[in-house]
């Protein structure tokens, strides 16, 4: 007996058992089931957490509330408000001042002498572009 191609794959003439349509349908069905499970998990976790928050509310007695208010007032009374204002004013003044650095006279003279010496060291026969090149090499 000769085996047909369909018999080799287990078809036995009834069509394909594992077609692309059936495989796609199975994969999509599994994806939908997984997506529904994830949504269900998220919804139940949100419900559980929101329910727990409403039960964990702390209830203070009037005496505890009064003591908390007193402690806040004491903290505010001991804040160094004047010192804070003074520090802010000093910071503003410091930032607004122009910072000019005045060099001492002897230092200015040294820098000036050095510049004059470098300028004298340039050859007088050189053109302006050569002089620029020499100035760059000196630095």
In a domain, 41, yes or no: yes
**What is the domain extent for residue 33?**
1-57
For the chain, the C-alpha Rg in angstroms (whole number) is 44
In a domain, 69, yes or no: no
Report the number of distinct structural domains present in the chain. Answer: 1
In a domain, 44, yes or no: yes
Core vs surface per residue 8-32: b (16+ CB within 10 A) or e: eeeeeeeeeeeeeeeeeeeeeeeee
Rounded to 5 degrees, φ, ψ at 40 are: -65, -40
In a domain, 73, yes or no: no
In a domain, 17, yes or no: yes
pLDDT-derived band of residue 1, with 50, 70 and 90 as boundaries? very low
Helices within 56-104 (DSSP H only): 62-77, 81-96
Alpha-carbon span 23 to 35, nearest angstrom = 18
In a domain, 34, yes or no: yes
| 26-85 pLDDT tens trace | 999 999 999 999 999 888 877 766 655 556 677 889 999 999 999 999 998 888 888 889
Claim: this prediction has a pTM higher than 0.85: no
Q: Which residues have a Cβ under 8 Å from the Cβ of 118 and sit 6 or more positions away? A: 135, 138
């Amino acid at each position: 007996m000769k085996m047909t191609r369909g018999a080799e794959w287990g078809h036995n003439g009834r069509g394909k058992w594992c077609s692309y349509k059936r495989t796609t349908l199975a994969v999509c069905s599994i994806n939908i089931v997984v997506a529904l499970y994830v949504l269900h998990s998220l919804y139940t976790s949100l419900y559980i957490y929101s329910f727990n928050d409403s039960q964990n509310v702390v209830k203070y007695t009037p005496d505890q509330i009064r003591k908390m208010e007193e402690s806040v007032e004491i903290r505010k009374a001991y804040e160094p408000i004047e010192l804070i204002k003074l520090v802010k004013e000093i910071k503003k003044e410091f930032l607004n001042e122009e910072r000019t650095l005045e060099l001492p006279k002897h230092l200015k003279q040294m820098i000036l002498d050095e510049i004059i010496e470098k300028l004298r060291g340039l050859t007088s026969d050189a053109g302006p572009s050569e002089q620029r090149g020499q100035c760059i090499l000196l630095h």
